[in-house]
A and B are shown apart, each in its own frame.
Chain A
Amino acid sequence: NAGVTQTPKFQVLKTGQSMTLQCAQDMNHNSMYWYRQDPGMGLRLIYYSASEGTTDKGEVPNGYNVSRLNKREFSLRLESAAPSQTSVYFCASSEGSGSRGYEQYFGPGTRLTVT
């Protein structure tokens, strides 16, 4: 099992460019998440998908869109990149997302720099 995979690992964009970060999981999990990690701020939730066909905003959704393509795949799109979106992006998945103690499984991350 590969677990959670993310592509690309690194990306440099110019302000205003667009790109899509890809995420896939092979654990048959229902729920998937996108986080950004910035120094001193921990992980902040951008969007999540509780189950196939649903998506919801997290703490910091502005400037991003997501697509839950199928049960395995959850992509994050930056339509017009800004320097404030320079960060490390993590995709995660879990068996469920309701108010129970579901462990999240993380991908290796994408380091994005916007110049």
Chain B
Amino acid sequence: AQSVTQLDSQVPVFEEAPVELRCNYSSSVSVYLFWYVQYPNQGLQLLLKYLSGSTLVKGINGFEAEFNKSQTSFHLRKPSVHISDTAEYFCAVTFNTGGFKTIFGAGTRLFVKA
């Protein structure tokens, strides 16, 4: 069965420190991978996506993520966070099953402290 797991529900970090938000999935078919960000009281917006090609993808606001097929992971990283990065981050996976199947992870709340 397909599933998506975000390993940390909350990640507190100091400003200008690096951060990694972890996402793992379970699948027997090929996948497309996404990270979305949700700022307080807003809808989700796309940070970055992996469809094919280079396994390291860069997104908006200095974020990047690396697709690791053998470990079925798609972790999100930023080398130096800002207060304004405080938000909830969702990993989403589209499974290539022939129909519509996209599953969102439970979310990771990133809290950047001064």
Contacts and interface: CB of A to CB of B under 8 A. Distances in A.
Interface stretch (A12-20, A77-85, A99-107): A99-107
B36 to A, nearest CB: 8
A42 interface: yes
Contact of B34 (A4, A44, A103): A103
A56 B6 CA distance: 27
B32 interface: yes
A102 B94 contact: yes
Interface residues of A, number: 26
A99 B49 CA distance: 15
Interface in B23-51: 32, 34, 36, 41-46, 49-51
B98 A42 contact: no
Contact of B9 (A40, A100, A103): A40
A105 B107 CA distance: 17
B43 A106 contact: yes
Given A40-B106, A41-B106, A99-B97, A108 B43 contact: yes
25 contacts: A35-B104, A40-B9, A40-B106, A42-B6, A43-B44, A43-B90, A44-B104, A90-B43, A92-B44, A98-B100, A99-B95, A99-B96, A99-B97, A99-B101, A100-B51, A101-B34, A101-B50, A103-B34, A103-B46, A104-B46, A106-B44, A108-B42, A108-B43, A109-B42, A109-B43
Given A43-B90, A103-B46, 6 more contacts: A40-B106, A90-B44, A98-B100, A99-B98, A99-B100, A106-B36
